[in-house]
Structure 1
Amino acid sequence: MSMIRTRFAPSPTGYLHIGGARTALYSWLHTRRHGGRFVLRIEDTDRERSTPEAVNAILEGMSWLGLDYDEGPFYQTERFERYHEHLQHLLESGQAYYCYCTRERLERVRAEQQERKEKPRYDGRCRDLSGPPSDEVSDEPVVRFRTPLEGHVVINDGIRGKVKFDNSELDDLIIARSDGSPTYNFTVVIDDLEMGVTDVIRGDDHLNNTPRQVHLYHALGVEAPRFAHVPMILGEDGKRLSKRHGSVSVLQYRDEGYLPEALLNYLVRLGWSHGDQEVFSVDELIQLFDINDVNHSASTFNPSKLLWLNQQHIMGSDPAHIARHVAPFLSERGADPVSGPPLEEVVRAQQERAKTLVEMADNSLFFYKSPDSYDEKAAKKNLTADTAAILEHCAHCFAGLPSWDRESIHGVVNESAQTFEVKMGKVAQPLRVAVTGTTVSPPIDVTLELLGRDEVVSRVNAAVEWVRAKAA
C-alpha cells in the first residue's frame, strides 16, 4: 500500500466552522495513524467571496486545534496554468467540448423537462457538433465534459459502503465557464491528482459530485482516490448546523474558554466511538481512530456534552498546559499573571472548580488583583462589626507566623475559632470575602498560601478598615 496522503480543502468564504473542523480532524487522524502526509489546500477560486481575513481565520483555527499540515497551504488561484493545460488535453482528446447554448435556451429546456416530470439536465445539443450551431448561439461558450451515456459508477465509500450511480442520471458537466475559469469539480480533480491524494475524506454533501469526478480521473488516465463521505452535523432542532445554532466558529469556542483538545475530543465523537470511552487524549485518538468505523447517519450537536468534556479535560490536564491557555484570559481582564503567585499553582487549586477557561480566569482574578469592592450580599453577612475583631486577630497572627504554609495558616484559623468561640466557617468565610471580594475560592488555607503573607495581611487589614469606616 502506497503512503496515504489526505487533504483538507476549505473555501475561504468564512471562518473555520465546526463541520469543516471535524472533516479536517478525521483526515488528520487517518493520516497520522498511518504515518502519511496531510495537505492543506485553500480553494479560493470564488474571488468575490474569498477574503484574506477568512484565509487567516482558517489558518488560525487549524493552528489552535493543533491540526498541523505537512504540505501547503496551496492556493487554487495560483494554479490556473495547470488547470488550463489539462483542459486543453481534454478538448484535444475529444473528452470535452465547447457548448454554445445561451442561458435562455438552457432555462427553456429545463422548464420543459420539469413540465414533463423529467430530471432537469443538459440535453446534449452541442455534444457532437464540430462547430457552433446555427441558432441561439452564445458568443462566450463554456466547456463541458463528455460524460459516458451508458453504464454506471460504483464508489466503495469508506463510510457508506458501496454506492452506485447510473451514468444516464448524470449530464455533461461544465468544467470551464464562459470566461475560461475552471469549475469546482474540475479543479478539485486536478489538484488531488497532482498533489498525490490517495484518500479523500469530505462532507457527504459532496457525494453526488463523486461519480462526475471519477469520470474525470479516468479521462485523465488515472485511478480515482479512495473516498469517505462524512455525514452532516445537525443542531438540536434536527436541522443542519448553522449560524442560528450559536457558536459554530472554531475560534469562537477558543474565545469562550474551551481547550482545543476538548473540542477535538467532542468533534471526533460526533460519528465515531470506541466502546464506552468518552474522554480521549489526542495521542489515543491517533492510535484508535479508524475512518471505516465512522457512523453513516447524521450526528446531533450537544453544547452541554461539549461543556462537560471541556471540564473533564481541564480537570485531567497538566496544570502547566492549562496555565498557557488561561494566561491570555487573565491578561484580557487586566491581570498580570507574572505579578502574583505561580499561575501553574493557581490552576492546580482551581482545576476541579471550572468548566471553562473563562470561568477559571474570572474566579482567579483575585490572585493577581486586590478586590476593589466586595460582593454586597457576601459583605453584609461576613464583613460586620463582629467579624472585624476576628479578622484583625487573624491578621496579627498571620504577621507573626514563623513560616507561611497551609498547616500554619490552618492553625491560625483553628486557634481564632477557639478564641472567639465560633465554628471555623465563621472565621474562614470572612477571611475569604476579605481577600477575594466574594464567597468563592479554593480552600482558605490554599487560597491564603498562594496569595502570600504580605498580600493577605494587607487585604485583611483593608477589610477591617472598610468595616469600621462603614460603621462610622
Structure 2
Amino acid sequence: MVRTRIAPSPTGEDIHIGNLYTALINWVWAKKNKGKFIIRIEDTDQERLVKGSQQKILETINAFGLHYDEAPDRDGPYKPYRQSERLPIYKKHVEELIRKGAAYYCNCSKERLAQIRRIALKQKQIPKYDKHCLSRQEEVKEEIKKGKPFVIRLNVPENKEIKFRDVIRGEVKIMSDNLDDQVLMKSDGFPTYHLAVVVDDYLMKISHVIRAEEWLSSTPKHILLYEAFGWPLPIFAHVPILRNPDHSKLSKRKNPVWASWYLEQGYLPEAVLNYLALMGWSHPEQKEIFLMSEFVEVFDLKDIKAVGPAFDRVKLEWMNGEYLRKLPISNFQFLITNFYKNKLPKDIVIKTIPLIRERIKKLSDYLPLCEFFFKKPDRYDIDLSSKKELLVKVRKELERVKEWKADTIGQTMQDMANREKVKTGEFFMTLRIAITGKKISPPLNESMEILGKEECLARLDIF
C-alpha cells in the first residue's frame, strides 16, 4: 500500500505555504493510489517549540481540505504520531546502531567542536567531525558514567559511494567522505531529525518519502541508517522549493509564508491548492484551472520538474478571482457573509455581488469596495466643500425621481449634468464621492438603486 506523510515541526506560527505544497503532493499521491496520508509531528527541537503551533498546523491542513488518515488527533495503527512521545523507540534503535558499530558516543566539548570547524574552514575543507571519540569509546563511556554530557553520532564509513534513485531527479551519487558523522541523539535524550525520520518512516511503513529538495543532501546519511538497520529503502522524491518571482527562496520578507494567512485574506482553499498544483507540474491538457478530483486523476509524481517554481501572488490572486467569478451568486454570498462572520446583512450582500464580481480577487476585497452600502462614509477622498451648491441641486432633482431604478437615476443625472453644463466625468465623480466617499466604487447608478432613495437623499443632506 502507498503510504505518504508530512512531518511538520511546530516551531512557527503555522504550516509554511511551501510545506502545504509538499503536503498537497503527498496527499494527491496517496489518494491516486488509494493509499494513506499521514501527519507526524516532529517536535524534537524542544527549545524552538511554539505553543499552539501543532494545533494550528492541523487546523490549517484540514481547512484546505487535505484530510489525513493518521495523525496525533487521528489515531492509527502506528501511534503515537508525535515524536516527543516516541523517545523509548529511538533509544532502542540508537543502541542497536551502537552495538553494530554504526554509531558511537561522543562527549567533545563545544569549544573543541568549534575549533575543528574553524580549522576546516581555514583549510577550505568541508567542516565535519574528526571521529576523535570513536577510538576512545571505553574512556568516553566511563566519563559518561560520571555525568559528562554526550551525544551519539553516526559512524560514516570512509570512501563509500552512496547512490539512490530519486523519482524526480534520477540517480543521485555521493561519496561518504563528504558526509559528517551526524549527531543522531542529542545530549537532552531527544533524537535529531536524521535518526527519527528513518526510524519513524520504517516503522510507520511509509512507502514514499516525498519532501522538499533541501533534504536531498541529507538522504545519503539516511540511506546509511537504512543499511545499518537492514531495512529496505522507501521510494524518494524531492520536490522543488517554492521561490519568489525573482528566484530567491520564499521567505517572510517578500511574501506571506504562513498558509492560514491566505485563508484569512479570503483566498479559497481550492484556488490555492489549484495554484500550488501547478508548481513544477503541468496539466496534460495545459489547463490552468481544474478540480482536485481531476488533479488526482491525471497527476504522476515523475512529471514534477526539478526546477524551483516561482510562487507569484499576483497570479494566485488572478486564479482566486476566476474561482470566485464562477460561483453561483448564492454561494458567493454565503462565502462573503461567512468571511465577515455574519456581520453583514445577507440581502444587501446578494444584491451587491453582480456589481463587484468582476473586480474582486479575494474575499477581503469585498468590504473596501462595498463598505458604503452598510454605513455612511466617515471620510471623503476629495473635499466637496466647493461642490455644495451643485449637490443641493442634485438632491432636489433626485427627490423628484419616482421610479428608483439605476437606468432612471443615470438618465436623470446625465440630463442634469447637461443642463448645468458640468462635464459628465466631473459631475458623476462628485456624486460618486458624495454617496460612497470614494473615487473608485462599484457602478454608481446600480449602487444608488441598492442604497435606496431615502438613504441617498440623507447622504446628500450632509452637504
Q: TM-score, normalised by structure 1?
A: 0.81
Question: What is the rounded CA distance, in whole Å, between the counterparts of 2:92 and 2:317 in structure 1?
Answer: 50
Deviation at 1:60, TM superposition (A): 3.4
Corresponding residue to 1:187 among 196, 199, 224: 196
Question: What is the rounded CA distance, in whole Å, between the counterparts of 1:420 and 1:105 in structure 2?
Answer: 88
Q: Kindly tell me: are residues 179 and 447 of structure 1, through their superposed partners in 2, closer, same or farther at Cα, counting changes over 3 Å?
A: closer
Question: What is the rounded CA distance, in whole Å, between the counterparts of 2:385 and 2:303 in structure 1?
Answer: 56
Q: What is aligned with 1:402?
A: none
Q: Kindly tell me: are residues 341 and 143 of structure 1, through their superposed partners in 2, closer, same or farther at Cα, counting changes over 3 Å?
A: same
Q: What is aligned with 1:87?
A: 94
Q: What is aligned with 2:77?
A: none
Check the 8 A contact 1:42/1:75 in 2, yes or no: yes
Check the 8 A contact 2:167/2:235 in 1, yes or no: yes
Amino acid paired to 2:297 = Q
SS class of match (2:47): coil
Structure 1 stretch 413-422 or stretch 303-312: which is displaced more? 413-422
Structure 1 stretch 61-70 or stretch 117-126: which is displaced more? 117-126
Question: What is the rounded CA distance, in whole Å, between the counterparts of 2:117 and 2:391 in structure 1?
Answer: 82
Deviation at 1:369, TM superposition (A): 3.2
Deviation at 1:107, TM superposition (A): 4.4
Q: Kindly tell me: are residues 305 and 366 of structure 1, through their superposed partners in 2, closer, same or farther at Cα, counting changes over 3 Å?
A: same
Deviation at 1:371, TM superposition (A): 4.3
Q: What is aligned with 2:242?
A: 233
Question: What is the rounded CA distance, in whole Å, between the counterparts of 2:336 and 2:386 in structure 1?
Answer: 32
Question: What is the rounded CA distance, in whole Å, between the counterparts of 2:215 and 2:415 in structure 1?
Answer: 75
Q: What is aligned with 2:59?
A: 60
Deviation at 1:153, TM superposition (A): 2.5
SS class of match (1:238): coil
Question: What is the rounded CA distance, in whole Å, between the counterparts of 1:372 and 1:110 in structure 2?
Answer: 63
SS class of match (1:131): helix
Q: What is aligned with 1:120?
A: 127
Q: Kindly tell me: are residues 187 and 447 of structure 1, through their superposed partners in 2, closer, same or farther at Cα, counting changes over 3 Å?
A: same
Check the 8 A contact 1:379/1:433 in 2, yes or no: no
Spell out, residue by residue over 1:77-99, the C-alpha distance to the aligned partner (whole angstroms, 9 max, x if none): 11112112222333334433323
Check the 8 A contact 1:235/1:241 in 2, yes or no: yes
Q: Does residue 276 of structure 1 match 2:272? A: no
Q: Kindly tell me: are residues 320 and 59 of structure 1, through their superposed partners in 2, closer, same or farther at Cα, counting changes over 3 Å?
A: farther
Q: What is aligned with 2:44?
A: 45
Q: Does residue 316 of structure 1 match 2:316? A: no
Q: Kindly tell me: are residues 226 and 381 of structure 1, through their superposed partners in 2, closer, same or farther at Cα, counting changes over 3 Å?
A: farther
Deviation at 1:309, TM superposition (A): 1.9
SS class of match (1:460): helix
Q: Kindly tell me: are residues 358 and 378 of structure 1, through their superposed partners in 2, closer, same or farther at Cα, counting changes over 3 Å?
A: farther
Question: What is the rounded CA distance, in whole Å, between the counterparts of 1:163 and 1:147 in structure 2?
Answer: 18
Amino acid paired to 1:56 = Q
Check the 8 A contact 1:326/1:361 in 2, yes or no: no
Q: What is aligned with 1:457?
A: 453
Check the 8 A contact 1:66/1:260 in 2, yes or no: yes
Amino acid paired to 1:48 = E
Corresponding residue to 1:222 among 207, 221, 231: 231
How many residues align structurally?
445
Q: What is aligned with 2:270?
A: 261
Structure 1 stretch 315-324 or stretch 435-444: which is displaced more? 435-444
Q: Kindly tell me: are residues 420 and 291 of structure 1, through their superposed partners in 2, closer, same or farther at Cα, counting changes over 3 Å?
A: same
Q: What is aligned with 2:220?
A: 211
Amino acid paired to 1:252 = W
Deviation at 1:172, TM superposition (A): 3.2
Check the 8 A contact 1:204/1:232 in 2, yes or no: yes
Q: What is aligned with 2:360?
A: 354
Question: What is the rounded CA distance, in whole Å, between the counterparts of 1:100 and 1:410 in structure 2?
Answer: 82
Corresponding residue to 2:392 among 373, 385, 393: 385
Question: Within 5 A, what are the aligned runs for 1:390-401?
Answer: 390-394=397-401, 396-398=402-404
Q: What is aligned with 2:309?
A: 299
Q: Kindly tell me: are residues 55 and 418 of structure 1, through their superposed partners in 2, closer, same or farther at Cα, counting changes over 3 Å?
A: closer
Question: What is the rounded CA distance, in whole Å, between the counterparts of 2:154 and 2:379 in structure 1?
Answer: 72
Question: Within 5 A, what are the aligned runs for 1:391-470?
Answer: 391-394=398-401, 396-398=402-404, 409=405, 412-413=408-409, 416=412, 436-438=436-438, 440-443=440-443, 447=447, 451=450, 456-466=452-462, 470=463
Q: What is aligned with 1:246?
A: 255
Check the 8 A contact 1:393/1:416 in 2, yes or no: no
Q: Kindly tell me: are residues 213 and 378 of structure 1, through their superposed partners in 2, closer, same or farther at Cα, counting changes over 3 Å?
A: farther
Check the 8 A contact 1:392/1:464 in 2, yes or no: no
Q: Kindly tell me: are residues 336 and 118 of structure 1, through their superposed partners in 2, closer, same or farther at Cα, counting changes over 3 Å?
A: closer
Deviation at 1:251, TM superposition (A): 2.4
Q: Kindly tell me: are residues 291 and 446 of structure 1, through their superposed partners in 2, closer, same or farther at Cα, counting changes over 3 Å?
A: farther
SS class of match (1:180): coil
Q: What is aligned with 2:16?
A: 17
Question: What is the rounded CA distance, in whole Å, between the counterparts of 2:315 and 2:96 in structure 1?
Answer: 52
SS class of match (1:10): coil
Corresponding residue to 2:162 among 153, 156, 171: 153
Structure 1 stretch 139-148 or stretch 120-129: which is displaced more? 120-129
Question: RMSD in angstroms over aligned alpha carbons?
Answer: 3.4
Amino acid paired to 1:98 = Y
Amino acid paired to 2:9 = S
Check the 8 A contact 1:189/1:213 in 2, yes or no: yes
Q: Kindly tell me: are residues 139 and 439 of structure 1, through their superposed partners in 2, closer, same or farther at Cα, counting changes over 3 Å?
A: closer
Deviation at 1:342, TM superposition (A): 5.7
Spell out, residue by residue over 1:30-72, the C-alpha distance to the aligned partner (whole angstroms, 9 max, x if none): 2222222111111111111111232233233323322221111
Amino acid paired to 1:202 = R
Question: What is the rounded CA distance, in whole Å, between the counterparts of 1:287 and 1:188 in structure 2?
Answer: 30
Q: What is aligned with 2:76?
A: none
Spell out, residue by residue over 1:390-423, the C-alpha distance to the aligned partner (whole angstroms, 9 max, x if none): 21012x444xxxxxxxxxx356447747986969
Check the 8 A contact 1:435/1:456 in 2, yes or no: no
Question: What is the rounded CA distance, in whole Å, between the counterparts of 1:69 and 1:378 in structure 2?
Answer: 57
Spell out, residue by residue over 1:191-220, the C-alpha distance to the aligned partner (whole angstroms, 9 max, x if none): 112222111111111111111112212322
Question: What is the rounded CA distance, in whole Å, between the counterparts of 1:280 and 1:363 in structure 2?
Answer: 29
Question: Within 5 A, what are the aligned runs for 1:311-350?
Answer: 311-327=321-337, 330-331=340-341, 336-337=343-344, 339-341=345-347, 343-350=349-356
SS class of match (2:139): coil
Q: Does residue 8 of structure 1 match 2:6? A: yes
Q: What is aligned with 1:404?
A: none
